Amino acid sequence: MRTHLEISNLHVSVEQTPILKGLSLRVRGGEVHAIMGPNGSGKSTLAFTLMGHPRYEVTDGSVVLNGQDILSLTPDERSKAGLFLAFQYPQEVPGVSVASFLRAACNAHRSSEQELSVMQFTRKLRDKMAALEMDAAFANRYLNEGFSGGEKKRNEILQMAMLEPKIAVLDETDSGLDIDALRIVANGVNQLLNPQLGIIVITHYQRILEYLKPDFVHVLMDGRIVRSGGPELADELEERGYDWIREGIAN
Ligand code: ADP
Ligand code: MG
């Protein structure tokens, strides 16, 4: 079945303050959606809400992934249902290698009968790393310890490859990505995209979209998607900023 995420009329408050005010978005497998918008428009709020962060209170609306109501699930259950959020994993775990972390994460998604043997896991990891053109030695590094910005991104993309989610949300807004890291994310996304996987890239910058060609671009402003279009919308935002859209709404 082709993946289908339906976000309808989502209202979210943080400490009683409404942040998202009726956000609707449909993402299907094989599609890349870029969500852009000025600082403070609610982009990260959307990501945290999808993850199930307790600070973000959903006051109205629904999020349904392949027929399943996501909002009633714990963050862990959401992950098992196929939702992947790039920032959901620990920042730095000394003494735990990338490989052993990934094995634990993969097996947490499986029943005990279906757990991958060390050999099955190793083969899968090797195949995914080869597909992503990653150096095999990376798997033996300690998780995020001393990782550069680019290596953190590589690790995120590898997690995504190994967990095979249905919907991946990449919030790139505040990460100060250099061009190398942007390329890693874009190449990884392009490699992994398939009819079972839909991707939401949240970004403040138009830059990443030079490498990663979104099918749809959405502008989030004051807690709502106020404009949607194709990749040309990102070019227009780069040229003209956000004010012209703001004025269009006011009129
Ligand atoms: P963006 O990612 O688009 O820059 P955010 O979703 O981070 O925007 O923030 C949207 C608004 O919600 C901002 O006004 C911000 O101050 C507020 N906000 C977000 N998260 C929190 C929080 N945890 N506590 C208090 N205010 C928050
Ligand atoms: Mg943000």
Q: Is the CB of 49 under 6 A from ligand 1?
A: no
Whether residue 140 is contained in a domain is answered as no
CATH code where residue 188 lies? 3.40.50.300
Whether residue 211 is contained in a domain is answered as yes
**Structure confidence at residue 209 (pLDDT):** 81
**Structure confidence at residue 90 (pLDDT):** 54
What whole-number distance in Å separates Cα of residue 36 and Cα of residue 164? 25
What whole-number distance in Å separates Cα of residue 138 and Cα of residue 122? 13
Q: Whose CA is nearest to atom 19 of ligand 1?
A: 45
Whether residue 241 is contained in a domain is answered as yes
Instruction: Tell me the CA–centroid distance for residue 47 and ligand 2, in Å.
Output: 9
Amino acid occupying residue 87: F
**Structure confidence at residue 149 (pLDDT):** 79
What whole-number distance in Å separates Cα of residue 83 and Cα of residue 133? 24
Which residues place a Cβ less than 5 A from the ion ligand 2?
43-44, 173
Whether residue 113 is contained in a domain is answered as no
Q: Whose CA is nearest to atom 25 of ligand 1?
A: 14
Q: Whose CA is nearest to atom 18 of ligand 1?
A: 14
- Radius of gyration for the alpha carbons in the chain, expressed in angstroms and rounded: 18
DSSP, res 210: G
Digit-coded pLDDT (tens) for 80-99 = 999 998 765 556 777 889 99
81, 65 contact by CB (below 8 A): yes
| Residue (of 2, 28, 4, 32) closest to 172 by Cα position | 32
Whether residue 161 is contained in a domain is answered as no
66, 28 contact by CB (below 8 A): no
What whole-number distance in Å separates Cα of residue 190 and Cα of residue 249? 34
Of all ligands present, the nearest one to the C-alpha of 21 is: 1
Q: Whose CA is nearest to atom 22 of ligand 1?
A: 14
Instruction: Tell me the CA–centroid distance for residue 34 and ligand 2, in Å.
Output: 13
Whether residue 232 is contained in a domain is answered as yes
**Structure confidence at residue 88 (pLDDT):** 53
Q: How far is CA 200 from CA 26, 50, 71, 238, in A?
A: 10, 11, 18, 19
Q: Is the CB of 223 under 6 A from ligand 1?
A: no
Instruction: Tell me the CA–centroid distance for residue 119 and ligand 2, in Å.
Output: 39
At which residue do the structure tokens 């959903």 appear?
58
Q: Is the CB of 41 under 6 A from ligand 1?
A: yes
Query: Which residue ranges in the chain fall short of pLDDT 70?
Result: 87-91, 173-177, 250-251
Q: What is the CB neighbour count within 10 angstroms for residue 53?
A: 16
Enclosing domain of residue 80: 4-91+166-250
Whether residue 15 is contained in a domain is answered as yes
81, 209 contact by CB (below 8 A): no
Instruction: Tell me the CA–centroid distance for residue 175 and ligand 2, in Å.
Output: 9
| Residue (of 27, 38, 37) closest to 2 by Cα position | 27
Digit-coded pLDDT (tens) for 157-169 = 999 999 999 999 9
31, 215 contact by CB (below 8 A): yes
DSSP, res 214: -
DSSP, res 66: T
83, 197 contact by CB (below 8 A): no
Instruction: Tell me the CA–centroid distance for residue 24 and ligand 1, in Å.
Output: 18
Of all ligands present, the nearest one to the C-alpha of 40 is: 1
From 10, 11, 19, the mutation candidate for ligand 1 (largest count of ligand atoms within 8 A of CB) is 19
**Structure confidence at residue 141 (pLDDT):** 92
Sign of CA dihedral 86, 234, 182, 19: negative
Q: Is the CB of 14 under 6 A from ligand 1?
A: yes
Tokens representing 246 are 């703001």
Whether residue 128 is contained in a domain is answered as no
Instruction: Provide the domain count of the chain.
Output: 1
Tokens representing 90 are 């620990």
16, 39 contact by CB (below 8 A): no
